[in-house]
Structure 1
């Protein structure tokens, strides 16, 4: 009691000693104010820390949920990107296959066109030959017709010549007959005279 300094001496905070009451202890509420305040402050601090802890925990849970959500979104995005890349690769392969088919089809079409052109040229050549043969036959028919007409005209001329010769011979015979008749008439006349 004597060695304790005044500023922390318990006499400042404690009242004089009183005897205990009979039956129960008296309620002691004369704690030093700074201790009570300290306990209230400590409780308040603990409550604040607990609330901060809960808030931090809530934030941590929310961040964890957000992180999981983002991770799931990233995984979904990566899966989607992988699906898109796979689809793109499939389409690229499909395009290559279609291009190969198209190239093969073009080759077939080129070959078919070439074949058609050759057939067309063959048909044109056959048509030209047929036309030339037809022209040749027409000319031969024309020549035969002209030969027939020449022969007919020659035959007609020969017939006319024969007819003319026969008529001339008949005329000659008639003239000779007339001459003989004249001579006979003349001779008769001469004889009568």
Structure 2
């Protein structure tokens, strides 16, 4: 009789997270049970509770790991776009799309599971690290505007984040019945351009 695979691969906690990510991608964040995650990881359901109190805790850990990757991806994009503030800001938007495509399970756990980023201090800290990179890119872009006329960096960061999320949801993840005649990256880049010009953050065409 074969032994349970999960007890012998050295990191049961991570195996459960990876099982959850696969199930989240296939069924959504509420479409699977802890028993299914345990079965996929090759352990008994009781073994899950040695590491997680319930499904939401498991999803929260998947989200935390996703934010770790996301923060690194966004930081890399921002730094690669330097020294142009506009290029750095646009690069963070493209990185958002790239992350959603490459890490769909993490993306769903982070943004579509209903898990609050404040569920744990660790999750809150890494989520803040990701948003701080985008706010820094926004801050850099607005320095030519007098302080009294300058929109808060956090405000237009939130707007661009929302725009990026909308493009991902409608066009970048093969939503049934929806197809754009333009690549999602082009939609996002032109949308960002229109928005930034409207705020006066881009001085003419560059």
Q: TM-score range by the shorter chain?
A: under 0.3
Higher helix share: 1
Normalising by structure 1, report the TM-score. Answer: 0.19
Rg: which structure is higher? 1
